Structure 1
Amino acid sequence: MKRTGEFVLSIIAGVVNLLALFYGIRALAANSSVLKQQLSAAGNNLSSQDINNVIRLFHTAGTFLIILSIISIILAVIALIFLKRSRPKLGGWLLILSGAASLIEIVPGILYIIAGIMALVRKPMPQ
């Protein structure tokens, strides 16, 4: 049975996930001294401790985004392989897990969950 809808939704979610992965890498690669200068120049009366906490939070969020994006992409690729090999139930559950893993990134999470539900609910055509 063709699973075009599930494939399209999963690929769109994967592309958005790759963008999130890119932004996570970018957050880790950000120069701390430049961020300190920009936060100091903003004029928000932030102490050096506050600035360091913001930078630490920025790096932690980047790491978290990278880890979740990688897990989500790997689960989605495995799910698509199972969908291609006519194992829609397992593929659907893996897509739902992928959606749960990437739910912090709203768009890919919702798309993966919709694709997973479609894979679980759709009945095979009678032969």
Structure 2
Amino acid sequence: MKRIAEYTLGIIGAVFYVFSIAIGALRLWMENNKDYLKDYMIDNQDEFQLTPSDIDILEEFFNLNLASPGMLLVIMPILAIILGIVAMVLLKGNKHPVAAGVIFITTGVVYVILTAGGGILSGILYLIAGILCLARKPKTIIEE
């Protein structure tokens, strides 16, 4: 049985996870360049229409130390992509579709929960791929 739908959904989900890596890298860059961003916002205050209190709020936002959210937004999608590749390898030749389905489902659900819905699109694609892995059964040939 060909598993083209599962492969396609897994690849598209992995591409969305790559976008999450890009967003995480941008967040990480912003965490490491707080002074530059603050100076830029102060210099272009008229363009952004920011008040000094808005700048203070943004500074507090960047000073939050929640175990480096930027680093989490880079590491977690990389793990999700690796697990997706492992699931697709398990699907190769239709050898272990149940294991691949479980990996797809848990990866998608756990990522959505840990990012508080941030990776919902990629999580849904992995979830659908996992459900297809579990639901599709190989055809049995009946001999008479």
Query: Normalising by the residue count of structure 2, what TM-score does the alignment of the two structures yield?
Result: 0.77
Q: What SS does the corresponding residue of 1:2 show, helix, strand or coil?
A: coil
One-letter code of the match for 1:122? R
One-letter code of the match for 1:74? I
**Residue 8 (structure 1) aligns with:** 8
Which structure has the larger Rg? 2
Does the 8 Å CA contact 1:24/1:66 hold for their aligned counterparts? yes
Q: Residue 62 of structure 1: CA displacement? A: 1.7
Q: Residue 15 of structure 1: CA displacement? A: 0.4
One-letter code of the match for 2:70? G
The superposition leaves residues 10-54 of structure 1 with CA deviations (integer Å, 9 ceiling, x where unpaired) of: 100100100110111121123212322355532151474x44321
The superposition leaves residues 78-121 of structure 1 with CA deviations (integer Å, 9 ceiling, x where unpaired) of: 10110114210000000011102331311000000010011001
**Residue 100 (structure 1) aligns with:** 109
Count, aligned residues: 126
Question: C-alpha root-mean-square deviation of aligned residues, in Å?
Answer: 2.2
Separation in structure 1 between the aligned mates of residue 65 and residue 135 of structure 2, nearest angstrom = 40
Q: Which runs of 5+ in 1 are unaligned?
A: none
Identity among equivalent pairs (%): 33
**Residue 123 (structure 1) aligns with:** 137
Separation in structure 2 between the aligned mates of residue 44 and residue 124 of structure 1, nearest angstrom = 64
Separation in structure 1 between the aligned mates of residue 64 and residue 6 of structure 2, nearest angstrom = 35
CA 1:101–1:74 in 2, change beyond 3 Å: closer, same or farther?
farther
**Residue 115 (structure 2) aligns with:** none
